[in-house]
Amino acid sequence: MKKSALQIARAAYQPKLPKALKGTVVAKEGAATQSVGNQDEIKAMFPNTYGMPVITFEEGNAPQMEAINVGIILSGGQAPGGHNVISGLYDGVKTLNPNSKLYGFLMGPGGLVDHKYVEFTDEFIDEYRNTGGFDIIGSGRTKLEKESQFESGIEILRELGIKALVIIGGDDSNTNACVLAEYYAAKNYGVQVIGCPKTIDGDLKNEQIETSFGFDTACKTYSELIGNIQRDCNSARKYWHFIKLMGRSASHIALECALQTQPNACLISEEVEQKEMSLNDVVTYLAQIVADRAADGNNFGTVLIPEGLIEFIPAIKKLIAELNEVLTDPATGESREFGSAEEQISFVKGNIAADNLAVLESLPADVARQLCLDRDPHGNVQVSLIETEKLLSRMVADKLAEWKKEGKYNGKFSAQHHFFGYEGRCAAPSNYDADYCYSLGFNASRLIANGKTGYMSIIKNTTAPAEEWIAGGVPITMMMNMERRNGAMKPVIRKALVELDGAPFKFFAANREEWAKNTAYIYPGPIQYWGPTEVCDQCTKTLALEQK
């Protein structure tokens, strides 16, 4: 593999570890736990992995263990730092016993089911340390939820002598890890299952998980691009840039990028929902900012938009909820099959309530069509395919044209459009993510050594120097509740939304009027790896504000 000069230099970086993980550790157990919701249902579904205590690791004198074989899976979308989770786990199991082995299942959970794998070696691992992407073994979105999959998996695990499996993923992937842990525990198969919290969207967090890995790097990558655009915007002074950012189920990325770059406007989906704003309300809000800046002679600006915005507008959210129901076959729980797009659209219009049909027909034809068609693997609308940035700029332009006729606006409006998504998913990890991910993987080896299953690897206190980070584990069932998916109630990890009474949003809300009117842009520049700590090792603004 050819490497750039940066990659060669970066390979020599040794990620920092919490003091508690340097050497042997002992596990301190807290009180019994319960799920965040639907306790009776979750307990009944996970009798072998429910109610376990939160684990904290401390320095101790635990003996060296016998050699153990461990498997690892990358599941779902890519996130910066995945390779460091694997290298941390590899180093962790080797320090427990040099004869331990680590196997990677290829292309996600499907590799476990289809018995496709690779054994890691020092030389293999060293090629990927501190690099972005998931290309070391690839990732996939196969859902582990059927008994036939579990049984196929146990065949290869037994063949390779694997006693523990680590699944790196987001809320859905870790829900699958929890289901798998429960199944193997119920069958007494002797295989532990550990999860690691990954998603650039930032919505896998709670009181125990400070942040999901990859969020820091992705937001810094997007913020660099936004800063570059804002510098161009402030130089040419003739365009409004509408920038859509990843974040289907929550607006954490948009909020973090706003805190880093100070755009003229940033929409937060959770606020739109709370205020019960209509699409017209959102458009009017943006148009007023454009008009106010034009009155000051500034016919330019930037607007940040979370990709899931449409789904948070109450009337459209209600419409989407019914679409998800009618497009699911109740007999199979899978998406209905249609002969053509027109047949599917006709079926939708003939089977939804009158008020939802009215909302559907009030939308631009291309948006209405998109809502009726493509679904994701979970049976939901693929909102990322809806060009919300173009929809909003088009509607803002129409609103401004109305105001111009009424003498309320006399500026110029010209829009440019961007969607930042894939650009951030495989970026080379920041120092924060490199350290955090390595610690998550290393820590997973300690959960395995202590016989834990159904746990997620967690590292806390990460606004402090790495020496002071706190390592441990949280039962995955503690984060679960019941939600409606594909027309049926299922156990899932609860997603974390932007908290409107939280410190990050409050800081944003206190400053956005000034950012709207004035050109107060910040240009973060590229991620830095060498230099002063205050430049290279900082966490996200969100985490710093949350942890004060």
| Residues annotated as catalytic (active site), given as ranges | 201
Which DSSP state fits 328? B
- Tokens representing 265 are 């406007």
| Of the candidates 421, 447, 394, the residue with the CA atom closest to the CA atom of residue 68 | 447
Give the sheet arrangement for strand 117-119, strand by strand: 25-29, 55-59, 470-475, 455-460, 192-197, 162-169, 69-74, 101-105, 117-119
Round to whole Å and give the CA distance between 7 and 9: 5
Say if CB 304 and CB 245 are below 8 A apart.
Answer: yes
How many other CB atoms are found less than 10 A from the CB of residue 178? Answer: 31
Torsion angle of C-alpha atoms 388, 393, 394, 398, degrees rounded to 10: 140
Residue bearing tokens 């804002």: 230
Single-letter amino acid, residue 492: V
Round to whole Å and give the CA distance between 474 and 460: 11
Per the DSSP assignment, residues forming a β-bridge with 328 are: 335
How many other CB atoms are found less than 10 A from the CB of residue 410? Answer: 11
**Per-residue three-class SS string for 382-434:** CHHHCCHHHHHHHHHHHHHHHHHHCCCCCCCCCEEEEEECHHHHCCCCCHHHH
Q: Tell whether the torsion through CA atoms of 88, 89, 90 and 92 is positive or negative.
A: positive
Round to whole Å and give the CA distance between 403 and 115: 63
